[in-house]
Structure 1
Amino acid sequence: MKVAVTVQHAGHVHFFKHAIAALRRRGHDVRVFARDNEASIELLEACAIEYEVLAGESDSLLSLAATQGVYEARLLRRALAFEPDVLTAIGGVAVAHVAPLVGARSVVFYDTEHATIIRRLAFPFADTVCTPDCFRDDVGDKQVRYPSYHELAYLHPEAFEPDEAILDDVGVAPDDTAVLVRLGDWSSSHDVGASGIDDPADLVERLEADGAAVLLSTEGDLPDGLESHGFDIDPGRFHDLLSAVDLYVGEGGTTAAECAVLGTPAVYVSDLTLGYLDELEHEFGLVRNCAGDDTASAVDAAVAFLDRPAAEFRRRREDLLAAKSDPRDTIVEQITGTPAGATASADPVETPAKHTG
């Protein structure tokens, strides 16, 4: 088969990297098309995945619309030349629009209920919409529900082995209680009108007062007065850090879920709710969801998590892994229409990376 994979964020690279490798091992011709956005290109290079850049970043909803138009037009031209059997993506606005124009099938993966713009532009045109079984909405006959989370596609224990030594590299002593606080930038189309941590300085101060060593990560500049809490690591080691810290408090839903599947408790602070985070809270006790305008509740949730033994969260993670499947096989099966069989090596791909502008 000929398969076109599109990625617009670093998280999309993580989600598809093992499936790309598995498809290529099975002899399929896989082309990867990307937007230069949120470290996506850096991660493609790190994973040695061949790709072609079709568009760059955007800094507003208006520029996002323009960038999306360029991205879709260029994807259409590449697809007409490549003649793929399947186009696939997370969100999938471009692939859902381009696939019928080139006689291909579109397979869209998604897990974000509040992303109404993306859903309205993609779902009606997609052939298959794959969602975790905790996705709250009914997409109709084209929906395929599977018992897992996006994050397990790259953080399942058979796909990822963390390096706990990462704490030394960020200046955290072995006996310290390490808390990672992460702030978002709220510029995505699905974040319009939402908010998260209302007073980062107050949150950090309260966590420190409880004895925590606080690491601060942002998608932009560090807030004034909190620069000393910043750190610098290779982006490819971020998941090592999520596994090594004792707690995560932040505005990113994906990061909260990544922590949960790694066995690190997470406090998600946002006005936006997500089906997978609700399930991770109520079914597995690995996440606490807090409103964005209530720092006190977030601190209380953080302290409650830190008061419990780490072994408890390891047991909760084992319960999660027993209940959920490894989604790597699901990705391959939905793309090819045939069973994936046993998932092979977690190595992303063997060929050297290259790119074109």
Structure 2
Amino acid sequence: MISVGHPAHVHFFKNLIWNLEKKGHIVKIAARDKDVVLKLLDSYGFDYEIISSKGNNLIDLGIELIKRHLKLFKIMRDFNPNLVFSGFDPSVAQVGRILHVPTIVFADNRPDVTKFPPIGPMVIPFVDTVLTLSTVEYDFGSKGIKMDGYKELAYLHPNSFKPDPMVIKEAGLSKDTEFALVRFVGLGAYHDIAGSGFNFDTKMKLIKEIEAQLPVFISSESQLPAQLEKYKLPVSPEKIHDLIYYSKLLICDSQTMATEAAVLGTPAIRCNSFVGINDMENFKELEQKYGLIFNYSDPEKAINKALELLRVPTLKDEWNLKRKRMLQDKIDVTAFMIWLVENYVDRVYNMKLDPTIQYQFRSVVE
């Protein structure tokens, strides 16, 4: 069983689900109605059962968590899976423990970053295994195993993702037209509470400055101001990665999309208040080791950097070389996860004995 609580989880798990089903496994999908989760699942033709709907504040989130526990209990009891795999979800961990179902949760960040609600104590004591990234500087004890990749490589590794050039035409552009993407998030998830990105004034300035050089499209979790509606993304959500691949630059206050751009070889500028304050190590690595992204907490600096990069004619060629270097270091995350879950007990044990066993899933990148 796969439990999906965020749009990024749909992408993270989709290739795992397809490959397991091809191998004859039966996969049940439980889904939280958050942002475009259900639209994405529908677009990929997945069958799923809704477990809860996203809350808008801490009280709503608390009520939702209770509902999620109850719904998951019924689904897991009836389906009786051999294994449940999810994001870092307290409901999956706790219900799995109650029903004695083995559980793996995936963590791409330290659980102690968010002090309230304290998510770590709600998950770690109850779960069987925490799968995390080599960049996450946190000790999950005997339950933790680390993989040397980014979660975005589960769906954007060259072995899994082939960009569709038709997205350019769908966006109303000609083949050789350069364009930029801007992403604004709602910052309403539990891990985003108290965070901030671009405000109204800096959004307006950013779009005006970029538009003076090339076409710009906006992807936004929340309703755009009327003045920015004409820039709204012209393609369906499941095609966003094709558009990122072909764009010259991404500017965002998003966490996930910055890394998606990086692994696709598109320069990314990430700007939010998390930069420099308990920031995730994957962003530091992508900036300091691979030079694929830029991280700013000051919107003015982010805008200036965007304008500087847009003036570089060989920008995408430079970034493709950086991307190649990164891909040669990292593993194919989907291939690794298939290997892990098909013989879960033995392979978790093997990973704890010898973490280098995962490097059989490195790929030669042309």
Instruction: Tell me if TM exceeds 0.5.
Output: yes
Q: Tell me, in whole angstroms, the C-alpha distance in 1 between the residues paired with 2:41 and 2:175.
A: 32
What is the one-letter code of the residue matched to 2:198? I
Count residues in correspondence. 337
What is the one-letter code of the residue matched to 2:291? G
Matched, 1:107 2:104: yes
1:96 Cα deviation from its structure 2 partner: 0.7
1:175 Cα deviation from its structure 2 partner: 4.9
CA contact (8 A) 1:329 1:342 kept: no
Match of 1:260 in 2: 262
SS in 1 for 2:149: coil
Paired residues for 1:271-350 under 5 Å: 271-272=273-274, 273-291=279-297, 294-308=298-312, 309=314, 310-336=316-342, 337=344
CA contact (8 A) 2:133 2:150 kept: yes
Change in Cα spacing, 1:242 to 1:80, as seen in structure 2 (3 Å) is same
Q: Tell me, in whole angstroms, the C-alpha distance in 2 between the residues paired with 1:242 and 1:178.
A: 10
SS in 2 for 1:216: strand
| Greater mean deviation of Cα atoms: 85-94 or 109-118 | 109-118
Q: Tell me, in whole angstroms, the C-alpha distance in 1 between the residues paired with 2:287 and 2:92.
A: 33
**CA RMSD of superposed structures (Å):** 2.1
Match of 2:142 in 1: 141
Change in Cα spacing, 1:274 to 1:77, as seen in structure 2 (3 Å) is same
Match of 2:20 in 1: 23
Q: Tell me, in whole angstroms, the C-alpha distance in 2 between the residues paired with 1:145 and 1:295.
A: 33
Q: Tell me, in whole angstroms, the C-alpha distance in 1 between the residues paired with 2:96 and 2:326.
A: 35
Paired residues for 1:23-42 under 5 Å: 23-42=20-39
Change in Cα spacing, 1:115 to 1:14, as seen in structure 2 (3 Å) is farther
Match of 1:214 in 2: 216
Paired residues for 1:160-309 under 5 Å: 160-198=161-199, 199-209=202-212, 211-272=213-274, 273-291=279-297, 294-308=298-312, 309=314
Q: Select the structure with the greater relative contact order (CA < 8 A; seq sep ≥ 6).
A: 1
1:299 Cα deviation from its structure 2 partner: 1.6
Q: Tell me, in whole angstroms, the C-alpha distance in 2 between the residues paired with 1:168 and 1:21.
A: 28
SS in 2 for 1:305: helix
1:220 Cα deviation from its structure 2 partner: 1.4
TM-score normalised by the chain length of structure 1: 0.88
Matched, 1:50 2:52: no
TM-score normalised by the chain length of structure 2: 0.86
1:155 Cα deviation from its structure 2 partner: 0.7
SS in 2 for 1:44: helix
CA contact (8 A) 1:85 1:103 kept: no
CA contact (8 A) 2:12 2:155 kept: yes
CA contact (8 A) 1:259 1:265 kept: yes
CA contact (8 A) 2:265 2:319 kept: yes
| Greater mean deviation of Cα atoms: 117-126 or 258-267 | 117-126
CA contact (8 A) 1:250 1:269 kept: yes
Q: Tell me, in whole angstroms, the C-alpha distance in 1 between the residues paired with 2:226 and 2:241.
A: 26
Change in Cα spacing, 1:167 to 1:262, as seen in structure 2 (3 Å) is same
Structure 1 residues 149-193: Cα deviation after superposition (integer angstroms, max 9, x where no partner): 110101111111112332332234545431111111111111111
Change in Cα spacing, 1:99 to 1:341, as seen in structure 2 (3 Å) is farther
Q: Tell me, in whole angstroms, the C-alpha distance in 1 between the residues paired with 2:230 and 2:194.
A: 30
SS in 2 for 1:43: helix
CA contact (8 A) 1:107 1:334 kept: no
Match of 2:152 in 1: 151
SS in 2 for 1:225: helix
Q: Tell me, in whole angstroms, the C-alpha distance in 1 between the residues paired with 2:181 and 2:48.
A: 32
1:68 Cα deviation from its structure 2 partner: 1.5
Q: Tell me, in whole angstroms, the C-alpha distance in 1 between the residues paired with 2:311 and 2:329.
A: 26
CA contact (8 A) 1:36 1:57 kept: yes
1:341 Cα deviation from its structure 2 partner: 12
Match of 1:94 in 2: 91
Change in Cα spacing, 1:115 to 1:332, as seen in structure 2 (3 Å) is farther
SS in 1 for 2:340: helix
